[in-house]
Structure 1
Amino acid sequence: MLRIKGLKVQRGSGADAHRVHLPELTLARGSVLAITGESGCGKSTLLETLGLLLAPEALEQYRLGGQDIAALLAADDQKALADVRARSLGFILQNGGLLPFLKVRDNISLPRRLLGLPHESDHVEQAIAALHLGSLLDKLPQQLSIGERQRVACVRAIAHQPQLLLADEPTAALDPHNARQLFELLLGLVDELGLSALVVSHDWELIDSFGLPRLTATNLPGEACFEPAR
């Protein structure tokens, strides 16, 4: 269970400052919520804050499972926050974020190896097969297309079975067929593994075709407030 209340974060300063406000969010295990809004409204900023990459300026509550993340942030406990990022969070970045000097198989297994988990995993093998990555495992990221790199990044993000998956435009570089296939895989894995997932996407048609609920931005001068779409 993910529970957020009273989150505010600011990016930039002075005339360039942009504030993002999330009044409240509850997300059950096995659930996926899409984050939508106009370009520049702060979708990625919100995701990075929830992913503990940006520090909020205000936060009443942030609980993930049994973890009180808000207390760790208030205490500036960087060691504990780093452990939460490594164990409890999975990230899919817009550019894939693969390490260029590691082969695909090693990029995928990296989160598990860092946590001392067995390299082999049934759900990882299932994801590799579903996204047709078997023939790419011994290649380096620079040998892959943008879409292939993004598919690899998706598998890596769920390899260690995080509690919360944070995906920033995971289908932006994919054709419609592969985008739908990737969404189907992510939804299936979220349900099967009991994860919670937040997915930033500009593809409202794809989101609506899967019946995903949306958290959308209301834009004000220098500020965006994210609330459930009605």
Structure 2
Amino acid sequence: MLTVTGLTVIRGRGRQQHCVRLPHLELAAGQILAVTGQSGCGKSTLLEALGLLLKPEQVEVFQLGQPSIDLAALQRAEKESQLAQIRAQHLGFVLQSGGLLPYLNVRDNIQLPRRILGLAAESERIEQAIVTLNLEHLLNKRPSALSIGERQRVACLRAIAHEPQLLLADEPTAALDPHSARRLFEVFLDMVNALQLSALVVSHDWALVKSFNLPILQAHSEPGESTFALV
């Protein structure tokens, strides 16, 4: 589903420059990797590059999907409109803050990615997920009326509403208490498996990651540089 080789991303300049490297990664459909490492090592930067939000300094192979899309070739050719379309259609994002639009109610937030792509607003799988996440009674409420945990459940569902091929989550449980974090993680894994997505989840909660026995893509950091590898 996702194959990356020789990815290098550079942030900052001079003494503030930090290089993030991903020598090789293969991610299959239905597979989830936890991305871990010390604060400031470049976990979010890596997700931004894989999410087509940040152009890498160098990448040898960058392929997504079945049939495979050659993202590296599109980036080298600076095909920004095509990359934007791929990002909207094939990628899903879960942010630490949730990122819900405050002026839309829960149902409209969930349906937004599908409407943007011209898909039917509702789907059987998403309706089932609404029930699984216990969101039925919240559908007409605005994000401001929700708890942090409720907002994160909605954000997770919105990220998969258009059934993308790759899901990228940046600290989705960071603001939750341990019980809520574990419950959200359980549902998150179930949805990824049910839809056969590929997923990368940045997490600082190593105990939570280990309790689910997830494969780990860990940062090995030196001054000015981090290299991510499976452990």
TM interval, shorter chain, is over 0.9
User: What is the aligned partner in structure 2 of residue 150 from structure 1?
Assistant: 152
Partners of 2:83 and 2:157 in 1: CA distance: 23
Number of matched pairs: 229
1:205 equivalent among 183, 204, 207: 207
Measured after TM superposition, the shift of residue 146 of structure 1 is 2.1
User: What is the aligned partner in structure 1 of residue 41 from structure 2?
Assistant: 41
Measured after TM superposition, the shift of residue 140 of structure 1 is 1.2
1:165-220 deviations in whole A, cap 9, x for unaligned?
00001111222222222212221221221110000001111111111000000111
Backbone CA RMSD of aligned residues = 1.0
User: What is the aligned partner in structure 2 of residue 127 from structure 1?
Assistant: 129
User: What is the aligned partner in structure 2 of residue 54 from structure 1?
Assistant: 54
Measured after TM superposition, the shift of residue 131 of structure 1 is 2.0
User: What is the aligned partner in structure 2 of residue 96 from structure 1?
Assistant: 98
User: What is the aligned partner in structure 1 of residue 14 from structure 2?
Assistant: 14
Partners of 1:113 and 1:15 in 2: CA distance: 44
2:85 equivalent among 83, 86, 92: 83
The normalised TM-score by structure 2 is 0.96
Measured after TM superposition, the shift of residue 127 of structure 1 is 2.0
| Counterpart residue identity of residue 224, structure 1 | S
User: What is the aligned partner in structure 2 of residue 108 from structure 1?
Assistant: 110
User: What is the aligned partner in structure 2 of residue 174 from structure 1?
Assistant: 176
Partners of 2:156 and 2:191 in 1: CA distance: 11
Percent identical among aligned pairs is 63
The normalised TM-score by structure 1 is 0.97
Measured after TM superposition, the shift of residue 130 of structure 1 is 2.0
1:61-112 deviations in whole A, cap 9, x for unaligned?
1000111111111111011000111000000011111111111110100001
Asked if the contact 1:215–1:227 (Cα under 8 Å) also holds between the matched residues in 2, the reply is: yes
| Counterpart residue identity of residue 55, structure 1 | K
Measured after TM superposition, the shift of residue 13 of structure 1 is 1.1
Partners of 2:31 and 2:150 in 1: CA distance: 26
User: What is the aligned partner in structure 2 of residue 185 from structure 1?
Assistant: 187
Asked if the contact 1:150–1:173 (Cα under 8 Å) also holds between the matched residues in 2, the reply is: no
Q: Secondary structure at the match of 1:54?
A: coil
Structure-2 change in CA distance of 1:179 and 1:96 (3 Å): same
Which 5+ residue runs of structure 1 have no aligned equivalent?
none
| Counterpart residue identity of residue 93, structure 1 | L
